[in-house]
Structure 1
């Protein structure tokens, strides 16, 4: 009789500990869901801003080096992407340097950026009218002026027909 009650006691203790463990794991999962963003972009490696509060970004945007970036989960044409960014008080990404998107170094998707051919000026220009630094795009040979540019962060850029649907990156400068 004594052995039976001791076995029952251990079963009760182990059951209680198991339930507590499940509750702690569920709580941790809920906390991570609310405090870690974004979770839908493979290869994203976000470094928090240290000693600075310059990155106050809208929900679902990534703050990095005092800029805010929106990485689309959906695909649109270049013009559709541009319109979406404008509706968010931003523009398609205008790269400043090669490591600007270092937090996306393992991304393997191509994204529309804000570079297109301006027929009036006969040149490739960013949306703000400035000329790109072509050393940003080591793999881009001679792009077709009828196309727009898609960019794979930290790797390469290619030109594609602007009507093709791709993911896109919007940028809000916070400086």
Structure 2
């Protein structure tokens, strides 16, 4: 009598079952993943149609960077948009501002801002001046006075100009009363946080090391 055990009709050998399972497992995982992805896409599509912005958070950020901070807004005719600044920069209207913790000369500050793809702050409106002044004052600890270089420099005697070639407007200048003075030696401008109001521009010798405010355009996505 043969010792070989015949399989019953409709049954499979255990070894063949294991082989079949090993073959099917990757396909089962792939199918499940595709079904899950389809569900997520469907949920996001429904959420967006209902005006829910939560799915838009996962939209790719500019310059392939994950280190951005964004606020949501609405641009007429374009739907929902995000306005983004690099992390560590402050958003105001359409610009991002960096308030440094270290100090440099005016020229060093200009080079540093340029190296970050920005420029020393150019202030052209009272609203912008109020934002910058308020933030700069909040960085002061105790009675310590901090000065911040901005992008205004005297090119010729009593002829002031911005680093990005924006025309200097005397009606949108925020000098401390009595400033600027000593025009022969004090050619660079900084914000003086010892002043309580928004009129806090003061001119200093360019070699003095102060903090700096860099500015760049915010990115919309």
The residue aligned with 1:164 is 208
- Aligned 8 A contact 1:92 1:113 in 2: yes
Secondary structure of the 1:86 match is helix
After TM superposition, give the deviation of residue 50 of structure 1 in Å: 6.1
Distance 1:100 1:130 in 2: 15
C-alpha distance 82-50 of structure 1, shift in aligned 2 (>3 A): same
Number of residue-to-residue matches in the alignment: 127
C-alpha distance 50-96 of structure 1, shift in aligned 2 (>3 A): farther
Q: Are 2:188 and 1:151 aligned?
A: no
Which residue of 67, 85, 96 corresponds with 1:57?
85
- Aligned 8 A contact 1:54 1:174 in 2: no
Which residue of 127, 132, 138 corresponds with 1:99?
127
The residue aligned with 2:112 is 84
After TM superposition, give the deviation of residue 66 of structure 1 in Å: 1.9
C-alpha distance 92-54 of structure 1, shift in aligned 2 (>3 A): farther
- Aligned 8 A contact 2:150 2:212 in 1: yes
Q: Are 2:197 and 1:131 aligned?
A: no
Distance 1:101 1:123 in 2: 21
Following TM superposition, the consecutive aligned residue runs of length 4 or more in structure 1 with deviations greater than 4 angstroms are none
C-alpha distance 54-159 of structure 1, shift in aligned 2 (>3 A): farther
Offset from partner CA, 1:26-52 (integer Å, 9 cap, x none): xxxxxxxxxxxxxxxxxxxxxx95625
Which residue of 112, 116, 124 corresponds with 2:153?
116
Distance 2:117 2:97 in 1: 12
Say which one has the larger Rg. Answer: 2
- Larger mean CA deviation between 107-116 and 50-59 belongs to 50-59
C-alpha distance 102-170 of structure 1, shift in aligned 2 (>3 A): same
The residue aligned with 2:101 is 73
